[in-house]
């Protein structure tokens, strides 16, 4: 991952941008979920682009795509740790390329969006439903989308575009023999 040599003012601006972008994702997620909850009954579907793209109100007590249902408490802890880690490492993240900073902001906002649901409702509101006939992708939401986009971008960037010896987003453990 590319790292810039930014001064304190640039890093402060990048940290603020990270937090505001994360907040914007959180806000977009919560507003869309509020609309869905106020306009649709649980289980109700509305075709948007024919039957291929629908709005279907569901609730998920598990992880993304309905995995590990009923384990909401575990995901409260995981979401909290992810959000705290991103905020705690915001100065290091601020030194990364803007695209990488944006990916971390997406993950932060998404983690907080689903965390709010889990704490307030005990389940996450999902409503984006895509597929063909009976072959449907599990319903998801804005927060899920933000997390998947951010994590995928960082994974692709790290796996396929990282240069050997380039600094990483988070400090890696040092080899004890070289200290």
Q: What is the CA radius of gyration of the chain?
A: 18
Find, among 100, 106, 99, the residue nearest to 82 by Cα: 106
Catalytic pick from 29, 117, 129, 144? 144
**C-alpha distances out from residue 114 to 57, 100, 109, 119, 131, Å:** 15, 21, 9, 9, 23
Alpha-carbon gap, residue 46 to 159, rounded angstroms: 39
User: Residue 175 catalytic?
Assistant: no
User: Residue 47 catalytic?
Assistant: no
Catalytic pick from 29, 117, 126, 129? 126
For CA atoms 117, 121, 124, 129, give the dihedral sign: negative
Find, among 155, 81, 80, 146, the residue nearest to 107 by Cα: 146
- Mapping DSSP to helix (H, G, I), strand (E, B) and coil, where does residue 4 land? coil
Find, among 52, 60, 61, 55, the residue nearest to 40 by Cα: 55
* Residues forming the active site: 126, 144
């Amino acid at each position: 991952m590319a790292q810039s040599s930014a001064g304190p003012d640039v890093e402060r601006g990048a940290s603020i941008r990270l937090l505001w972008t994360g907040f914007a994702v959180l806000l977009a997620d919560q507003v869309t979920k509020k609309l869905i909850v106020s306009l649709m009954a649980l289980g109700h579907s509305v075709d948007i682009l024919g039957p291929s793209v629908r709005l279907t109100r569901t609730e998920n007590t598990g992880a993304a795509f309905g995995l590990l249902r009923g384990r909401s408490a575990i995901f409260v802890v995981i979401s909290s740790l992810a959000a705290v880690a991103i905020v705690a490492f915001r100065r290091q993240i601020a030194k990364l390329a803007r695209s990488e900073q944006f990916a971390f902001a997406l993950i932060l906002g998404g983690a907080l969006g689903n965390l709010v649901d889990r704490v307030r409702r005990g389940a996450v509101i999902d409503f984006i439903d895509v597929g063909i006939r009976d072959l449907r992708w599990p319903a998801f939401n804005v927060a899920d989308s933000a997390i998947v986009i951010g994590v995928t971008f960082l994974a692709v960037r790290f796996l396929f575009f990282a240069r050997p010896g380039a600094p990483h987003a988070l400090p890696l453990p040092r080899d004890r023999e070289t200290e």
